[in-house]
Chain A
């Protein structure tokens, strides 16, 4: 199946700092990628749709200035959590569709101290 990678796999940061998470499609091009968040023992919640060459679209309740998304190329989308706080600690997963179905990355666990 198609491969989607994420980097880093985990990150620990201090409150107030910004953290960048990368999502790459390794063997296909993706004009659209999706960012999800998963809290412990909860399901995945869609945060935003990353669009190559244009602005991301955010789901209701997700602060666009808090979660900056940049889709700079057909194989890379980045999510930057700005001024992170402990409540932003979560598991962030991206997905992309090469044409048949949605494939998910391995996720990034963010812990904000």
Chain B
């Protein structure tokens, strides 16, 4: 079965700093999703990547899917306290199945 490994597990940064979160898959990714979750709450959809080499941006968050489609990175520029939360990557490992496998998440803390 597919496994997703996220790194780092947790991250503490000063407001205004840039940061990167990585998600590595044990198998080829057919679709890679990034979500943000606050503890005890639902998931907020950030971005979905499907094509190798694809890069998407939304406000100060950029996500990339590498050419080999086995790793994705999420980059936040000039972080703010509102970016704090748990970032989860999820993968569609069957190509259109809609079933997602998730990584364990990266807990981000942004200190003002």
Contacts and interface: CB of A to CB of B under 8 A. Distances in A.
Contact residue range for chain B? 10 to 19
Interface string B27-64: 00000010100001111010010000000000000000
Nearest to B103: A43
Given A93-B43, A105-B42, A107-B41, A43 B33 contact: no
Interface string B55-77: 00000000000000000000000
B42 A102 contact: no
Contacts, number: 49
A44 interface: yes
6 contacts: A34-B98, A43-B88, A43-B104, A43-B105, A44-B88, A95-B100
Interface of A: 1, 4, 6, 32, 34, 42-46, 49, 91, 93, 95, 97, 101-107, 109
Interface of B: 33, 35, 40-43, 45, 48, 88, 90, 98-105
